[in-house]
Amino acid sequence: MPTSALSSNALKHSINTRQLTMIGIGGVIGAGLFVGSGSTISGSGPGIVLVYLFVGLVIILVMRMLAELATASPETGSFSTYASRELGSWAGLAVGWLYAFHWCVTVAFEAIAGAAVAAQLVPGVPTWAYALIFMVILTAVNLAAVTSFARFEFWFAMIKVAAIVLFIVVGIAAFLGVFPGFQSPGVDNLLGHGGLFPKGMTPVLLATLTVFFSYFGTELVTIAAGEAKDPVLAVRRSMRSVSWRILIFYVGSILIVVTLLPWDATEVTKSPYTAVLNELHVPGAQLVMNLVVLTAVLSCLNSGIYSSSRMLFSLARRGEGPRALGTTGTNGVPIKAVLAASSAGFLAVIANYFLPTGTVFTFLLSCSGSVAIVVYLTICATQIVGRLKKTPAERDELPVKMWGFPYLSYLVAAILLVIIGGMALTPASQTPLELTSLITAIAVVAGMVHQKKTARTVTARVSTERPVLDDVLTNDH
């Protein structure tokens, strides 16, 4: 039986189009926007808006390529499944395990990050206790049913979207000088503190990796499509709207921050959105933003458990992971895969109880920090190879097509390679790139070994069955 059929029979198609669309919208707005953007602004200057815009345009093109693949064949394994089909089992195995590893690390990080935010809101409780509570609740949500995950993620996304839209509306009013008690600085903060790039271009390249990481999660909708009621319609709607989501939520809100506040203000580094609201004398700004950040962190934690577990499930069903991870319970949930995905978070809780976790997390985040670029490169290669293999009739039948193929596809791949080259030449980004390259090399070697082993097994099976088949055919005659 084909892998897609196995996946379809094992998982329940319970996510409705509205939920899947909102999961796609919420996937764009991660905790990195609210927290990580402060360091990129202070490190690069107001020109960081152009970095968010540039990287955003690259992501839009990559997601268009993924949409072409996903609408043609919605799969739980998404780009990993497509890579196995078009490039070979080695590629699907490598990128699938890298992706699962990345989200397992993210789950661990977000559990501790969420605990730190909760401790600010309600002090007096140990951070490990908060982390344990979050892990237990969201693991239970993912174990209950896929609809539980979808409902939680829907409301998490609603809160994040409402917060960003309200922030942008208030920011525009302040810029136009119609917000009470605030005098608009015009464009002084953009151009009057050393220009757009006061520290030169080197910090800008370093910030690119952080920006790529903050955008990561946009692909979640194609993974969830494997459990959607109408996956083609939902993926098409969500991926077509990715452009305005990126431009409004990221570029728009970051532009508000660097326009209303000097890029080198101390408050911007700590929490740019809180700093803007404080500057506008919005009451309870710190409390409101802490609640929004906590929502974003828990959303990322919830999505991390889901996406990692579904990728592990898909790998197992394709024979590229332990078989046990490819089984489901009576509720259609891959229970063992969910527990495996959440185990990193529980290990982080234990580490947070006994040991200082800063060093461990820094190492793990460095290892997985560049995985986003590896995933995007794989999507590029898969889409290019997959399209070239199709006949003209098959290309005409594609529900969604990559713009300007093959030129834009090659351009995106070249841009990603240039970014990797630039990171290799930048001292501050060399360590994360080296660590990610190391685990990528390990994953690729493992994939090649697995592919050769599978090929030998198939060859041996054919050799064994051929004489029997010949005898049957001879006797028939």
Per-residue pLDDT of 55-101, as tens digits, reads: 989 988 999 999 999 888 888 788 999 999 999 999 999 999 999 99
For position 215, what pLDDT does the model report? 83
Residue ranges per structural domain of the chain: 3-436
Q: How far apart are CA 24 and CA 217, in angstroms?
A: 8
pLDDT tier at 2, thresholds 50, 70, 90: very low
Percentage with pLDDT > 70 across the chain: 90
- As given in the structure block, the two tokens for residue 102 are 């990345």
Per-residue pLDDT of 288-317, as tens digits, reads: 888 998 998 899 899 989 999 999 999 999
What number is the average pLDDT over the span 185-194? 84
For position 134, what pLDDT does the model report? 94
pLDDT tier at 367, thresholds 50, 70, 90: low
- Model confidence at 9: pLDDT above 50: no
Q: How far apart are CA 389 and CA 277, in angstroms?
A: 53
Q: How far apart are CA 413 and CA 433, in angstroms?
A: 17
Homologous superfamily assigned to 3-436: Amino acid/polyamine transporter I (1.20.1740.10)
For position 468, what pLDDT does the model report? 54
For position 109, what pLDDT does the model report? 83
Q: How far apart are CA 131 and CA 294, in angstroms?
A: 12
For position 6, what pLDDT does the model report? 37
- Model confidence at 149: pLDDT above 70: yes
For position 241, what pLDDT does the model report? 74
pLDDT tier at 133, thresholds 50, 70, 90: very high
Q: pLDDT averaged over the chain?
A: 85
- Model confidence at 4: pLDDT above 60: no
Q: How far apart are CA 33 and CA 161, in angstroms?
A: 12
- Model confidence at 344: pLDDT above 90: no
What number is the average pLDDT over the span 6-21? 71
Q: How far apart are CA 60 and CA 62, in angstroms?
A: 6
For position 359, what pLDDT does the model report? 59
Q: How far apart are CA 84 and CA 92, in angstroms?
A: 4
Pair 193, 277: CB distance under 8 Å: no
- Model confidence at 462: pLDDT above 70: no
Percentage with pLDDT > 90 across the chain: 39
pLDDT tier at 471, thresholds 50, 70, 90: low
Lowest-confidence region among 24-33, 157-166, 463-472: 463-472
Pair 253, 276: CB distance under 8 Å: no
pLDDT tier at 246, thresholds 50, 70, 90: confident
Per-residue pLDDT of 386-442, as tens digits, reads: 999 999 999 999 988 999 999 999 999 999 998 888 888 877 778 888 888 888 999
Pair 80, 438: CB distance under 8 Å: no
Burial of 273 (0-12, 13-18, 19+ CB in 10 A): buried
Check residue 228 and report its DSSP letter: B
Q: How far apart are CA 252 and CA 256, in angstroms?
A: 6
**Close Cβ partners of 60 (under 8 Å, ≥ 6 residues apart):** 242, 243, 246
- Model confidence at 256: pLDDT above 60: yes
Pair 409, 62: CB distance under 8 Å: no
Per-residue pLDDT of 33-46, as tens digits, reads: 877 788 888 888 89
Q: Which residue has the higher pLDDT, 2 or 229?
A: 229
Q: Which of 143, 433, 167 is nearest to 306 (CA)?
A: 143
Q: Is the pTM of this model over 0.85?
A: yes
pLDDT tier at 358, thresholds 50, 70, 90: low
358-390 per-residue burial string, b: 16 or more CB within 10 A, e: under 16: eeebeebbbbbbbbbbbbbbbbbbbbbbbbeee
pLDDT tier at 466, thresholds 50, 70, 90: low
- Model confidence at 7: pLDDT above 50: no
Per-residue pLDDT of 191-215, as tens digits, reads: 877 788 888 887 887 788 778 777 8
Q: How far apart are CA 215 and CA 201, in angstroms?
A: 21
First to last CA, the chain: 30
